[in-house]
Amino acid sequence: LSKLHSLLCPSIRSVYELTDKNKIYVKQVSSFDEASLFASKCSSSSALFTGGGYVGARLRSCFKKGIINVHMGDLPNYKGMDVVQATILEGNFNYVGLTSHLMDESIDTGDCIYNYTTSSDFYSNIGSLRNELQSIMPFVLISSFLKLNRQDTNLYKQPKTGRLFHKLHPSLEKVIDKILLHRAKPSNQSEIEKLFISCYSSIINLT
């Protein structure tokens, strides 16, 4: 994360400093319902969601094209929470990834925009894997926004398959770290560097 920060905006110390400098309006609300009052007056046809809970129909209806969420898992197979860990526990080491989708009334079931999968075999613990996936998420989000607003974009409707996972038991975290440490392979280039190049090229092409 610090490497990504130094690459993109080393002189900016916080999001608020960035918005201040670029005169971007920030609206603080205490609930999604309160946010819908503000959003209903905006001209935006789509929104980007970066986490924080379940978004109800009231806020979703404010955006004609929808709200984009980036899920830290391979949809439709892994819905819900702690799906990075669940993927490893099930032995699907090459299906760790991210999926951007439009939010709907259910959890992680909306139409998909972009899917990215990688291998967990280049990470020796779950913390480093999750940190790198989190670093990639903003690029996936921006690429998905640009893709959604293109005329020729075809969204992928999710089949009614996969499972909804819940919070993982803490004792299994140690098991996952042992698995990753045992399987870890050296890599010359991190996934964030590879995807940064891929997403940057995608963003340039879309704009």
pLDDT for the residue numbered 135: 84
pLDDT for the residue numbered 185: 84
pLDDT for the residue numbered 64: 94
Q: Three-state SS string across the chain, please?
A: CHHHHHHHCCCCCCHHHHHHHCCCCCCCCCCHHHHHHHHCCCCCCEEEECCCCCCCHHHHCCCCCEEEEEECCCCCCEEECCHHHHHHHCCCCCCEEEEEEECCCCCCCCCEEEEEEECHHHCCCHHHHHHHHHHHHHHHHHHHHHHHCCCCCCCECCCCCCEEECCCCCHHHHHHHHHHHHHCCCCCCCHHHHHHHHHHHHHHHHC
Per-residue pLDDT of the chain (207 residues; tens, 9 = 90+): 777 778 778 899 888 999 999 999 999 999 998 999 999 998 899 999 998 889 999 999 999 999 999 999 999 999 999 999 999 999 999 999 999 999 999 999 999 999 988 889 989 999 989 988 888 898 899 989 999 988 777 899 999 889 999 999 989 989 999 999 999 887 655 555 666 666 556 555 655
pLDDT for the residue numbered 68: 97
pLDDT for the residue numbered 194: 64
pLDDT for the residue numbered 202: 58
Its pTM surpasses 0.95: no
